[in-house]
Amino acid sequence: MKAFDIPEIYKSEFITSIKKGRQENDRMKRDLMPSILDFGKVRIHLARHFGFCYGVENAIEIAYAAINENPGKRIFLLSEIIHNSHVNLALQENGVRFIMDTAGKQLIPWEEINADDVIIIPAFGTTLEMERILKNKGIKQIYYKSKCPFVEKVWTRVSQIADSDYTVIVHGQPDHEETRATFSHSKSVAPSLIIKDMAEALLLADFMMNRRPATDFPEVFRNRYSEGFDATQDLNRIGVVNQTTLLASDTQDIADFLLQTVKEKHGLTESNTSQHFANMKDTLCYATNDNQSAVINMLLMDADLAIVVGGYNSSNSSHLVELCEEKLPTYFISSCDSMVSDQEISHWDIHSRELKTSFSYLPAKEPVVVHLTSGASCPDILIENVIRKLLSYYDLSIDLY
């Protein structure tokens, strides 16, 4: 796999040595159990896979290339390059400005952007509408290749579905940049619809099976279907693609359920399902799969608590939190700064979407056993810093490992 040129500020020699050792001893990635870092009073189970993925490193490399290749020019990102505040802040400190926030709210008016400015497309890609704005502005220097290749893979699948006259069902969070971009590309070539979870898949099945009148469709899926979508016609042949950072099991469950619905609707057998259903199982990002599988295997081991490090608006990080929460107390933090002391921790609640403070999060026992992982947009140095701070509470250090 390509080695990317990313700034040293994101790297950790300690974490790199652990990852390198695992890779050398397990090149086929068959062992998904965590690395066990035993410091005596503290034992850390470090997930087999975590941290920067291919798409994130690619985006960061291109963003810094844009900075280095355009001295004296104004450089803009359409929105956050990835969902990690530390990475985005470092880019801002290098003079990069964001045109929009992650929800699409305009931060810098388009009137202030001119043809000589440099524009970087985030890892999530962007909408066709945004591409037209950039074209109309006559901007000469646009860094498109910062898009994640796995997002582009989804768009390729969308085109394949459209070419075969299927309707595209996008499983994704409607307000997420990647889903907005995928839907924009999808609706330009095929009837398209966004569903966010299994509950909405169940609603969709009601329309597919004519258990609910098509006249209800516009209200149920308001602002999430393509112009001219006809629920009486456009749900006969469907294909499912996904936001690449979602839980693999959720997407699979939704695809399996909709396949069964299609079979029931048309009286199909396994041999002829392709007449009405396009199987698109391979559009989940490999890093999302690897990170989730690593957490699932880590959770087979006992621990006192789990810590997940990542951006609070990171979808893939939030899903790692979901997995851990099913088994044990879990704290979702952005960096070691969230660990106020050995008694107090500030962490993000993915359900209420607010910061909470917990006390006595480290049990009064030895050894304390901690599951530790991070999202695909989290720099390794943040994991090292969390380990160092955790050890400091017990007068320990990484240097002793």
Other beta carbons within 10 Å of 79: 23
Total residues belonging to the chain: 401
Q: What is the 3-state secondary structure (H, E, C) of 209-222?
A: CCCCCHHHHHHHCC
CB-CB contact of 130 with 200 (8 Å): no
Residue type, 11: K
> For every residue of the chain, which 3-state class applies, written as one string?
CCCCCCCHHHCCHHHHHHHHHHHHHCCCCCCCCCEEEECCCEEEEECCCCCCCHHHHHHHHHHHHHHHHCCCCCEEECCCCCCCHHHHHHHHHCCCEECECCCCCECCCHHHCCCCCEEECCCCCCCHHHHHHHHHHCCCEEECCCCCHHHHHHHHHHHHHHHCCCEEEEECCCCCHHHHHHHHHHHCCCCEEEECCHHHHHHHHHHHCCCCCHHHHHHHCCCCECCCCCCCCCCCCEEEEECCCCCHHHHHHHHHHHHHHHHHHHCCCHHHHHHCEECCHHHCCHHHHHHHHHHHHHCCCCCCEEEEECCCCCHHHHHHHHHHHCCCCEEEECCHHHECCCCEEEEEECCCCEEEEEECCCCCCCCEEEEEEECCCCCHHHHHHHHHHHHHCCCCCHHHC
> Considering 178, 200, 322, 384, which one is annotated as catalytic?
178
Which residues does 288 contact at the CB level (< 8 Å), separation at least 6?
53, 244, 245, 246, 248, 316, 319, 376
For the question of residue 178 being annotated catalytic, the response is yes
| Residues labelled as active-site residues | 178
